[in-house]
């Protein structure tokens, strides 16, 4: 069955609603990761189509005093997309692009994904729950200290400093605004 063809024939929804539509069909019972994979592919399409933007250079963040950085609010890069899934949809989606990087039979657990486009090059990688929480905080305008404190409280085993470094290195952040 070609789900995309059925979706197009049966609905007047736009393709952004395709992942939710899949989740309402029997296919999701047999392939529970399928709606997540479709949602990730939608995130990829959005990232590819986003307006050009410049990422914060890691050197800019490193040059700030620690308290100044922590009070900063970060605007995410226009192409930054991320999501959290109750199934290993990110591992399955990533395996289709480079099977050498991802276990073809991933551990069945929740995962996140971060999709960025620094310098016009699309990148995607798995993220953990702490990094997802920090990104979500940045998206809604939380200062770095608020976003990282929330992540640290929820995920005390996580390396928050490494998560922030990975976010900056990924090109997910576009500008820093002082509080």
Q: How many CA atoms lie within 13 A of 172 on its CB side?
A: 24
DSSP, residue by residue, 69-86: HHH-EEEEPTT-EEEEES
Q: Is the pLDDT of residue 142 over 90?
A: yes
Query: What confidence score (pLDDT) does residue 105 get?
Result: 65
Q: What is the mean pLDDT of the chain?
A: 85
Q: Is the pLDDT of residue 138 over 80?
A: yes
Query: What confidence score (pLDDT) does residue 101 get?
Result: 61
Out of 25-34, 71-80, 102-111, the most confident range is: 71-80
Alpha carbon distances (Å) from 33 to 36, 43, 106, 153: 5, 15, 12, 29
Query: What confidence score (pLDDT) does residue 95 get?
Result: 86
Place of tokens 């609010």: 73
Average pLDDT over residues 169-179: 81
Q: How many CA atoms lie within 13 A of 134 on its CB side?
A: 28
Q: Rounded to whole angstroms, how far apart are CA atoms 161 and 74?
A: 16
8 Å CB contact between 144 and 179: no
Q: Is the pLDDT of residue 62 over 60?
A: yes
Q: Which residues have CB under 8 Å from 73's CB, separation 6+?
A: 138, 141, 142, 143, 144, 176, 177, 178, 179
Place of tokens 């500008």: 175
Higher pLDDT, 145 or 36: 145
Q: Hey, what are 45's tokens? A: 């399409």
**Can you list the alpha helix ranges (DSSP code H) found in the chain?**
3-10, 18-23, 27-30, 34-49, 58-63, 66-71, 89-95, 129-139, 144-154, 160-170
């Amino acid at each position: 069955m070609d789900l995309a063809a059925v979706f197009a024939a049966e609905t007047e929804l736009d393709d952004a609603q395709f992942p939710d539509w899949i989740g309402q069909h029997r296919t999701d019972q047999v392939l529970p990761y399928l709606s997540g994979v479709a949602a990730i592919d939608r995130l990829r399409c959005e990232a590819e189509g986003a307006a050009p933007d410049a990422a914060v250079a890691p050197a800019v963040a490193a040059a700030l005093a620690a308290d100044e950085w922590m009070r900063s609010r970060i605007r995410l890069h226009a192409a930054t997309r991320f999501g959290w899934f109750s199934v290993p949809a990110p591992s399955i989606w990533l395996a289709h692009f480079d099977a050498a990087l991802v276990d073809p039979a991933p551990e069945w657990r929740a995962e996140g994904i971060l999709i960025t486009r620094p310098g016009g090059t699309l990148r995607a990688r798995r993220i953990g729950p702490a990094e997802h929480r920090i990104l979500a905080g940045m998206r809604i305008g939380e200062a770095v200290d608020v976003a990282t404190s929330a992540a640290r409280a929820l995920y005390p085993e996580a390396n928050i400093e490494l998560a922030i470094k990975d976010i900056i290195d990924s090109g997910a952040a576009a500008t820093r605004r002082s509080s």
